[in-house]
Structure 1
Amino acid sequence: MTSVRAAVIWNPAKTTREDLEDPLLRVFTADEIAWFDTTVEDPGQGVAARALETSPEVVIVAGGDGTVRAVAEHLADVRADVDLGIVPFGTGNLLARNLDVPLRRTVDAVERAASGQARPIDVGWVDVEFTTGTERHAFVVMIGFGIDANMIAETDESLKSKAGWLAYVESLGRALQASDLVSFTLTVDDGPGRDESGHTLLIGNCGSLQGGFSLLPDADPGDGDLDYLLLSAEGLTPWLGTLKTMLWDSGLGRMIRRSDASESADTDDVTHGRARRIRVSLPSPRVFEIDGEEVGEATGFTVSIQPAALRVR
């Protein structure tokens, strides 16, 4: 297959080729672009394999977090020697937010993808255990169970298409009700397994969410480590304290104070940690999410990190 400068992978559920052509043709000629659209059956992994056959300088992904994750999964799996560019069209666009990719103007994101300086970022891998067997997936933002996963599961898709990420707020109350405390076994790196109790465990490569909210304020997508957050608040007063810790101590207040990474915002109900490998064994199935998508109910999972797995412009 003829070599091209840019292999463009686009999700027809999020954008159209016509909307992409104008900004792309400002920086590439028509014969420098190869086009590949995703499908329900192939959300990005197989498409990425075909895109690599064109020997592109850059693979440009136009879509949401799910499309970015699927393409990144294949590129990391085969250790592709190619840059990745992101043109965000999703609800969350979480990796794009964490890498300061322009979100509101397609032309700016395309220009960044075409000529921006590439930086290495890590990719996380998770082996998720379901009652039907084990599945292996990559992630570039975060995974876990609890409030975040339940909020995704409870969100109305039609409302999400109209209100964007604010639709998640509408589902928060139902997510809180579904996020009961659970005792589970947590093994960090080569340490012994220890008994923990909590309703939410998030493990991330990135930490920033919509609205400038940071769940994992110390997470760096290129540091070779995973950051994790365990929440165990139960009842109104502990929850108010948890929200203060997450919104102020770990978020806005920390930015204002310019606190360094060594300052801990942990409480009895909020625990942060860092690892390269994490193993979780659950007593019963829990709703599980990968990069903002519900993937089923997990009975356990093992997480590892692939350092510098991608080069993202």
Structure 2
Amino acid sequence: MTPDLSRLCFVFNPISGTNRRFDLPALLHRVLGKSYGLHYEVRPTQYAGHAEELAREAARQGFGVVVAVGGDGTVNEVGRGLLGTGSALAVLPRGSGNGLARHLGIPLEPAAAVALLRQPRVLPIDVGRLNGRPFFCTAGLGFDAHVSRCFAQAGTRGLSTYVRVALREYQRYQSCPVEIELNGQRIGTDCYVLAFANAAQYGNNAYIAPLADIRDGLLDLCLIDRLPLSRALRVAYGLAVGDLPTSGAATYHSAQTVRVRTERPLGFHLDGDFAGEATDFTATLQPLGLPVVVGAGFENQAV
């Protein structure tokens, strides 16, 4: 059955990033009104994991588009709930980084993002999994996961808080020996950061894998084995300008399946949210596993 794209359910995290004092119903009335033949509902989340439940229920009720209103964590929850349902994920970005929204060409200005839903353009994207748990933008082991855990405990959000936490933890964090299996190879190396990129950036236009194609059936891996100060400065510059693959400060691979064994338990994140620790990891990719609403600037990439 073809999803009914005229039925929209907004799953709204009222405490995500910049959502405080955000009047979503007023915005929807102003931008969607009654002139476009749309039916829409707003369903606020009440606890961690609730967005996944609300999204799955909305899909069962015939909503063809379920809109994640929040940051990348909310987007991840809603996306998880929609897997296998046929309903499309849309994003109204209201978080700190908004990595997936930026990659998909979704405007960060709320009214412009909502206006896309009058006649939504839907394309399927790949779905990553790390130890069986879905991610849609990036996942990773090592320093970025460690920072995500500390960031969640910082008490405030935003880019300035993230930078402050990252600089503080850089003084403390040590790389870890790992063994990586991919494409029939075994690679023994140290790991400071190992990022699995389905999309190009972490968020805030920090491009960890600027060549990543979210519809090509491959994960882009970025490995940084050690991070002395001179390399840290080059990595920071590369993230900002999008030239990290040519900088010599990181190593890149592409694969559908990657296995990693670590000498000590390493933290990992999924779409920027800390998810736990492990010593064995398997990253996989499901090609074109989730329909999403994309922005006008998103190119219809060949697969």
CA shift, 1:218, in A, is 0.6
Give 1:131's aligned residue. Answer: none
Aligned-pair Cα RMSD in Å: 2.5
CA shift, 1:184, in A, is 0.8
Q: Is the 8 A contact 1:11 1:62 kept in 2?
A: yes
CA shift, 1:249, in A, is 7.0
Give 2:218's aligned residue. Answer: 225
Gaps spanning 5+ residues in structure 1: where? 128-135, 252-263
Give 1:195's aligned residue. Answer: 188
**In the alignment, which of 108, 122, 137 is matched to residue 126 of structure 2?**
122
Letter in 2 for 1:126: L
Matched, 1:292 2:272: yes
Matched, 1:42 2:45: no
Letter in 2 for 1:232: D
CA shift, 1:283, in A, is 1.4
State percent identity of aligned pairs: 28
Matched, 1:21 2:25: yes
The 2-side partners of 1:8 and 1:106 are apart by 13
Matched, 1:207 2:200: yes
CA shift, 1:272, in A, is 0.7
The 2-side partners of 1:124 and 1:193 are apart by 21
Letter in 2 for 1:21: P
The 2-side partners of 1:70 and 1:246 are apart by 26
After superposition, the Cα gap between the structure-2 partners of 1:138 and 1:178, relative to the gap in structure 1 and judged at 3 Å, is farther
Letter in 1 for 2:12: W
Higher mean Cα deviation, 87-96 or 51-60?
Answer: 51-60
The 1-side partners of 2:255 and 2:95 are apart by 29
Tell me the secondary structure at the aligned position of residue 61 of structure 2: coil
**In the alignment, which of 140, 153, 157 is matched to residue 144 of structure 1?**
140
CA shift, 1:12, in A, is 2.4
CA shift, 1:124, in A, is 0.5
Give 2:11's aligned residue. Answer: 9
Give 2:230's aligned residue. Answer: 237
Give 1:110's aligned residue. Answer: 114
**Length, aligned pairs only:** 283
Give 1:265's aligned residue. Answer: 246
Matched, 1:100 2:100: no
Q: Is the 8 A contact 2:141 2:194 kept in 1?
A: yes
Q: Is the 8 A contact 1:7 1:54 kept in 2?
A: no
Q: Is the 8 A contact 2:67 2:90 kept in 1?
A: yes
Q: Is the 8 A contact 1:85 1:114 kept in 2?
A: no
Gaps spanning 5+ residues in structure 2: where? 294-303
The 2-side partners of 1:233 and 1:62 are apart by 37
CA shift, 1:119, in A, is 2.0
